[in-house]
Chain A
Amino acid sequence: MDIPFTAHTLANGLDVLVHEDHAVPIVAVNVWYHVGSKNEVPGRTGFAHLFEHLMFEGSQHYDRGYFHPLQEAGAALNGSTNADRTNYWEVVPSGALELALWMESDRMGYLLPALTDAKFENQRDVVLNERRQNYENRPYGLAGMAIVSALYPPDHPYHWLTIGEPDDLRAARLDDVRAFFKTYYGPANASLALAGDIDAAQGIALAEQYFAEIDGAPAPPPVNVPALSSNGEETRLLLEDRVELPRLYLAWHSPALFAEEDAELDLLAELLGSGKTSRLYRALVYEQRVATEIAAAQNSRELGSFFQIVATAAPGRTLVEVERAIADEMRQIYESGPTAAEMERCLAQAEAHFVYRLQTVGGFGGKSDQLNAYNVFLGEPGYFRRDLARYREATAERLQRAARQFLAGGRRVAVSVVPRGRIALALPDSSPAVVA
């Protein structure tokens, strides 16, 4: 099980990775830029994502929108921004590969001449509407902001969410766009993966043809990461929202993506919260019926992750009861670790997930996206097997140790989201969270 590839780095620093898979006559083009909201500064949050939108508004040599020629060629395409990286992808019929490379290279090399105030204003409105739709007008939509702002100090690059603050988005100027592009969108800060119905040598030749002319740029400035206080009092916050049922979010700092014990905590999240036989679902939803839904996740990120448990109270039950039930289950994990049956199940599921990940060449999570993830974060595009090995090598003892160290021993943030006007439903001693 693997994603075989051929690699080549252009003179300007752009990494090119090609994976052949001729089953369907399509090719995935996938570009990662190693920039995300972690590269923003307070007062200009949300900028990396707003910038991503502008990448779809045309470039110097084709300035009539990015989607049109590609959709006319039968492409699917999209992009996304998170704290650590920005990615862009097209999946095109094999015959349209050059078109996709032309378009991707034109916006990597020649975005700024096509940039206008009108485009900028329009996309800022679109992003403000994206924020309203996915955060402000959505039940529990602001909880994520409360969590990261409590987990990370104000000068930490994970203190804000990728969508940013409305005032910061309104304060952004066209000059900021130009500076951001010049700093972060150079070829040496990017990685290009091609996967699908393509010959590897031809893929590399085409990458040379379209991307080699783009000038290199100096490496972006390093991200300043202030130290985190891992000890200290628990932080308890509350948010009033238009919801029927109160919900509790618990979060802890945890090891960074691919760091020691990241995989163990990912498996722990699986056995705590995934499926009906998981510990927390079984105890809180199935047996005690104190909660109506439960989730657990290791949110793996480059500079440091956070482990999260989310539970929605059943009608008539309180968040205090929910918290106590979670604490009881966690105590058993700290004291006795996972059972053999739990380990067998979560390892089988992890193994199957690696197979499922080999099904698509493109899009979010497809093979091209995985090659770029391994390359950008580790400099090892061939990491797939070792990634799987991280999971295979996990044991009950290692999960228990990680749970003790990072969850039992770590500082916790608890956010209670309660129906408006019913503050008493929050965990005791919670103070109001300040979110926009």
Chain B
Amino acid sequence: MAADRSALPIPGPERPFTFPDIRRRTLGNGLRVWTVEHRRVPLVSVIVLVPAGGSADPPDRPGLAAISADMLDEGCGDLSALDVHDALGRIGAHLDTDVGYDSTLIGLTVLARFLDRGLALLADIVTRPRLEQREFDRVRDLRVNRLLQLRDLPPAVADRVFAQLLYQNHPYGHLPIGTERALRAVTLRDVMTFHRRVFAPGHATLIAVGDATHDELTAAAERAFRAWTAAKETEPLPDPDAFPAAAPPVSRRVLVHRADAAQSELRIGHVALSRRTPDYHALLVLNMILGGQFVSRVNMNLREQKGYTYGARTAFDFRRAPGPFVLQASVQSNATAEAAEEAIAEIAAIRGERPVQPHELALGRAALTRGYPRSFETAEQVARSAAQLALYGLPDDYFTTFVPTVLKLTPEDITRAAAQHLDPERLVTVIVGDRERVPGEVMLVMDSP
């Protein structure tokens, strides 16, 4: 039978997919242990989540959460910094530390047959870091060096200036990696205090996903973590729900000068919404249509029609407190002004001038719903998804209700969400590029740091 090329095949019905069943337990010390059986490949992924990241940095110590997380595996329990990594290497384990604005994730992926050994090491790392001066001095130098290098990386410069402009002194006004000045001032005592305050069993959730039963995973977690106790009399964790609103930006158009830059790095956006917004699903669909995938309006315009860039995209960065909406692209220098104008025009138009069309809605919804099972293929993906539930306090049935909730949305819902939550008047534009090659009015020019 030859192919019929007169029309595209119509996709058949979606096959049922069972979302991971999460079993939840709480150990005697208050540690929440969530387990998922995921028995495809003989390995286990474990995540320890604590709900404190860059936004928990004291105002004069941006970067403290990140360097504290970095110190966890620099010697712990009976093991020196090198011993820890030797032990991880001997079982082929993969350790991953991820410091976001509102959370720190310590992840470990290990062959299932080494689960106990891996969890014992993870418990040492999370609960018994040695926090020694000699290692701290070295780690701090390495982080300062990294920040030095980031001065020359246009996306990193753009991200930093964009966060500063949008949030200023707000806890989201600096990147989790912090600043050179703050890192030079931070002390080992700061790290010790931060660790005692944040890494307590009552704050943490351990998520274990992999090739073992719920009982086996829970028992292994309990063996490794039951001795963990909270330090007494620590300051409570900051509550993002209580963060004040960010003050209006002091400037709406900023250029960071980079002489002879081959391209201009663009960030355009404003403070938007928190993860708990009731419009969460509508905004995900809106983003898919506006700039969240290849065929979105922004990418088709700036890349596929104009050829100004290798790619342009938008995102709502949902956090515990309102995070930013941002459009980002790296565009050829002589098209910077046109690219920024086009981008802003796309953001404005989707609010009503060019409302969401039914075929766009179908495309935006389908990308989220039909592609959804793909996000649950590996143990680590499942663990990270479960961590989102823990961090944002989402309901137990969140995964199973996701697709039906998205499918209920109408074009009008999306256009309304755009009109309500995107505001062209408030958009801030950051350009990292050569000021000689970027025409147009720029209110503030900064030198590259």
Query: Which A residues lie at the B interface, using CB under 8 A?
Result: 21, 23-26, 60-62, 65, 67-69, 71-76, 91-96, 98-99, 102-103, 105-106, 110, 121-130, 132-134, 136-139, 197, 209-210, 212-213, 242-245, 275-277, 282, 285-286, 289, 292, 312, 314-315, 341, 344-346, 348-353, 355-356, 358-361
CB within 8 Å for A25 and B373 given contacts A74-B367, A129-B310, A136-B262: yes
Residues of chain B with a CB closer than 8 A to A197's CB: 15
CA A123 – CA B306 in complex, angstroms? 10
How distant is B429 from chain A, measured CB to nearest CB, in Å?
A: 19
In this assembly, does B294 line the interface, its C-beta being within 8 Å of a C-beta of chain A? Answer: yes
Q: Are A292 and B142 in contact (CB under 8 A)?
A: yes
How distant is B230 from chain A, measured CB to nearest CB, in Å?
A: 29
Most buried by A among B2, B12, B92, B111: B92
- The 5 A-B residue pairs with the shortest CB-CB distance, nearest first, are A74-B370, A352-B92, A125-B307, A95-B12, A25-B15
Can you list 19 residue pairs at the A/B interface with Cβ under 8 Å? A21-B40, A24-B377, A25-B14, A65-B295, A71-B363, A71-B367, A72-B366, A98-B9, A122-B307, A125-B308, A129-B263, A129-B307, A130-B310, A132-B330, A133-B309, A210-B3, A276-B82, A345-B89, A348-B92
Residues of chain A with a CB closer than 8 A to B373's CB: 24-26, 93
Q: Are B263 and A133 in contact (CB under 8 A)?
A: yes
CB within 8 Å for A345 and B90 given contacts A65-B304, A129-B330: yes
In this assembly, does B379 line the interface, its C-beta being within 8 Å of a C-beta of chain A? Answer: yes
How distant is B228 from chain A, measured CB to nearest CB, in Å?
A: 24
Residues of chain A with a CB closer than 8 A to B152's CB: 139, 242-244
Residues of chain B with a CB closer than 8 A to A243's CB: 149, 152
Q: Are B371 and A129 in contact (CB under 8 A)?
A: no
Query: Which B residues lie at the A interface, using CB under 8 A?
Result: 1-3, 5-6, 8-17, 40-43, 81-82, 85-86, 88-94, 109-111, 138, 141-142, 145-146, 148-149, 151-154, 258, 261-263, 265, 293-295, 303-305, 307-310, 330-332, 362-363, 366-367, 369-374, 376-379
Residue of A nearest to B145 (CB): A292
How distant is B14 from chain A, measured CB to nearest CB, in Å?
A: 6
Residues of chain A with a CB closer than 8 A to B6's CB: 61
Q: Are B85 and A96 in contact (CB under 8 A)?
A: no
Residue of A nearest to B4 (CB): A102
How distant is A296 from chain B, measured CB to nearest CB, in Å?
A: 15
Summed over the interface, the residue pairs from A and B with CB atoms below 8 Å come to a total of 216
Q: Are B370 and A96 in contact (CB under 8 A)?
A: yes
Residues of chain A with a CB closer than 8 A to B310's CB: 126-127, 129-130, 133-134
CB within 8 Å for A348 and B374 given contacts A71-B367, A209-B2: no
CA A103 – CA B10 in complex, angstroms? 12
Residues of chain A with a CB closer than 8 A to B10's CB: 99
How distant is B13 from chain A, measured CB to nearest CB, in Å?
A: 6
CA A62 – CA B153 in complex, angstroms? 40
CB within 8 Å for A69 and B90 given contacts A24-B374, A105-B3, A277-B85: no
Residues of chain A with a CB closer than 8 A to B8's CB: 62, 69, 99, 102-103
Residues of chain A with a CB closer than 8 A to B42's CB: 355
CA A78 – CA B315 in complex, angstroms? 20
Residues of chain B with a CB closer than 8 A to A345's CB: 86, 89-90
Q: Are A122 and B304 in contact (CB under 8 A)?
A: yes
Q: Are B89 and A348 in contact (CB under 8 A)?
A: yes
Residue of A nearest to B363 (CB): A72
CB within 8 Å for A351 and B92 given contacts A72-B366, A213-B2: yes
Q: Are B371 and A93 in contact (CB under 8 A)?
A: yes
Most buried by B among A24, A137, A277: A137
CA A19 – CA B348 in complex, angstroms? 47
CB within 8 Å for A314 and B307 given contacts A26-B377, A96-B370: no
Residues of chain A with a CB closer than 8 A to B154's CB: 137
How distant is A87 from chain B, measured CB to nearest CB, in Å?
A: 17
Partner of A94, one of B15, B110, B262, B379: B15
Partner of A245, one of B110, B145, B304, B370: B145
Q: Are B41 and A358 in contact (CB under 8 A)?
A: yes
CA A210 – CA B366 in complex, angstroms? 25
Partner of B332, one of A106, A132, A244, A349: A132
Residues of chain B with a CB closer than 8 A to A62's CB: 8
Residues of chain A with a CB closer than 8 A to B40's CB: 21, 23, 359
Q: Are A277 and B86 in contact (CB under 8 A)?
A: yes
How distant is A294 from chain B, measured CB to nearest CB, in Å?
A: 11
Q: Are A126 and B303 in contact (CB under 8 A)?
A: yes
Q: Are B89 and A93 in contact (CB under 8 A)?
A: no
Partner of A314, one of B81, B145, B309, B362: B145
CA A359 – CA B112 in complex, angstroms? 14
Residues of chain B with a CB closer than 8 A to A71's CB: 293-295, 363, 366-367
CA A93 – CA B9 in complex, angstroms? 14
How distant is A207 from chain B, measured CB to nearest CB, in Å?
A: 11
Q: Are B94 and A356 in contact (CB under 8 A)?
A: yes
Q: Are A282 and B15 in contact (CB under 8 A)?
A: no
CA A244 – CA B369 in complex, angstroms? 45
Residues of chain B with a CB closer than 8 A to A122's CB: 304-305, 307
Q: Are A353 and B369 in contact (CB under 8 A)?
A: no
Q: Are A99 and B11 in contact (CB under 8 A)?
A: yes
CA A321 – CA B145 in complex, angstroms? 18
Residues of chain A with a CB closer than 8 A to B82's CB: 276-277, 282, 286
Q: Are B92 and A137 in contact (CB under 8 A)?
A: no
Q: Are B3 and A209 in contact (CB under 8 A)?
A: yes
CB within 8 Å for A244 and B86 given contacts A67-B294, A95-B11, A197-B15: no
CB within 8 Å for A289 and B138 given contacts A65-B295, A209-B2, A359-B378: yes
CB within 8 Å for A349 and B295 given contacts A93-B371, A276-B81: no
Partner of B11, one of A26, A73, A128, A359: A73
CB within 8 Å for A244 and B3 given contacts A345-B89, A348-B90: no
Partner of A139, one of B153, B307, B362, B377: B153
